[in-house]
Amino acid sequence: MRSLVRTATRPYVCPSCHLGRLSARRRFASASTPSSALPEIYDVVCVGGGPAGLGLLAALRATPATSKLKVALVETQDLEKARSWSLDAQHYSNRVSSLTPSSVSFLQKIGVWDHVDAARVQPYQEMQVWDGETGSRITFDWSMETSPFEDLRTVATMTENSNLVRALLSRIAESGDENLSIFSNTTVSSIANGSDIPDGPDLSAWPVLSLAPTTSSSAQPPKQIAARLLVGADGINSPVRRFADISTSGWDYDRHGVVATLSLSDLDPVHSSPNIKTAFQRFLPALGGPIALLPLPNNTASLVWSTTVANAAYLKSLPPRAFIATVNAAFRLSMTDLTYMLRMERPSTTSPTSTDSSSAIDPHEDELTWRLQHTPQPRKPSQLPPLVTGVQEGSVASFPLRFRHASSYISPRVALVGDAAHVIHPLAGQGLNLGLGDVAALAQTVEYAATHGMDAGDLLTLERYAADRFATNAKIGVACDVLHKLYNVPGNGPVAWARSFGLDVIDSVPFVKGLLMRGAQ
Query: Which span (3-11, 113-121, 137-145, 354-362) binds other proteins, by CB under 8 A?
Result: 3-11
Query: In whole angstroms, how close is the CB of 25 to other proteins at the nearest point?
Result: 17
Q: Spell out a b/e string for 400-439, using b for 16 or more CB atoms within 10 Å of the CB, else e.
A: ebbbbbbebbbbbbbbbbbbbbbbbbbbbbbbbbbbbbbb
> What single DSSP character describes residue 50?
S
Query: In whole angstroms, how close is the CB of 23 to other proteins at the nearest point?
Result: 14
Selected binder of other proteins within 3, 36, 298, 521 (CB under 8 A): 3
Residues in the chain: 521
Contact 98, 158 (CB under 8 A): yes
In terms of CB distance, is 180 or 301 closer to other proteins?
180
3-class secondary structure for 487-512?
Answer: CCCCCCCHHHHHHHHHHHHHHHCHHH
CA distance 19 to 102: 40
For residue 274, what are the CA distances in angstroms to 117, 295, 390?
21, 13, 21
Footprint (CB under 8 A) of other proteins, residues 32-51: 41
The neighbour count for residue 28, using CB atoms within 10 Å, is 21
Query: Which span (73-81, 198-206, 350-358, 472-480) binds other proteins, by CB under 8 A?
Result: 198-206
CA distance 94 to 511: 36
Query: Which span (5-13, 153-161, 288-296, 388-396) binds other proteins, by CB under 8 A?
Result: 5-13
Query: In whole angstroms, how close is the CB of 35 to other proteins at the nearest point?
Result: 17
CA distance 469 to 107: 18
Residues 6+ apart with CB under 8 A from 307: 255, 256, 258, 284, 287, 288, 289, 291, 315
Query: In whole angstroms, how close is the CB of 8 to other proteins at the nearest point?
Result: 5
CA distance 54 to 61: 11
CA distance 122 to 296: 5
Nearest alpha carbon to residue 411 among 400, 421, 425, 398: 421
Query: In whole angstroms, how close is the CB of 9 to other proteins at the nearest point?
Result: 8
SS3 assignment, position 124: strand
In terms of CB distance, is 179 or 383 closer to other proteins?
179
Selected binder of other proteins within 13, 361, 505, 515 (CB under 8 A): 13
In terms of CB distance, is 18 or 109 closer to other proteins?
18
Query: In whole angstroms, how close is the CB of 227 to other proteins at the nearest point?
Result: 11
CA distance 395 to 300: 13
Does 198 bind other proteins (CB under 8 A)? Our answer is no
Footprint (CB under 8 A) of other proteins, residues 51-80: 64
Query: In whole angstroms, how close is the CB of 318 to other proteins at the nearest point?
Result: 54
Selected binder of other proteins within 32, 149, 200, 272 (CB under 8 A): 200
Footprint (CB under 8 A) of other proteins, residues 445-474: 448, 451-455, 458-460, 463
In terms of CB distance, is 245 or 507 closer to other proteins?
245
Query: In whole angstroms, how close is the CB of 282 to other proteins at the nearest point?
Result: 42
Query: In whole angstroms, how close is the CB of 223 to other proteins at the nearest point?
Result: 17
Query: Which span (194-202, 240-248, 279-287, 341-349) binds other proteins, by CB under 8 A?
Result: 194-202
Does 8 bind other proteins (CB under 8 A)? Our answer is yes
Q: How many CA atoms lie within 13 A of 177 on its CB side?
A: 3
In terms of CB distance, is 6 or 343 closer to other proteins?
6
Q: Where are the beta strands (DSSP E) in 244-366?
A: 248-264, 278-284, 289-296, 300-308
Query: In whole angstroms, how close is the CB of 461 to other proteins at the nearest point?
Result: 9
Footprint (CB under 8 A) of other proteins, residues 406-435: none
Per-residue string for binding with other proteins, 202-221, x by CB under 8 A?
Answer: xxxxx---------------
Query: Which span (9-17, 51-59, 139-147, 396-404) binds other proteins, by CB under 8 A?
Result: 9-17
Q: Are strands 207-213 and 156-160 parallel, antiparallel or unpaired?
A: unpaired
In terms of CB distance, is 11 or 148 closer to other proteins?
11
- 255's torsion region: left (phi>0), alpha (psi -120 to 50) or beta? beta
Residues in contact with other proteins by CB under 8 A are 1, 3-4, 6-8, 10-11, 13, 15, 18, 41, 64, 200-206, 226, 228, 448, 451-455, 458-460, 463
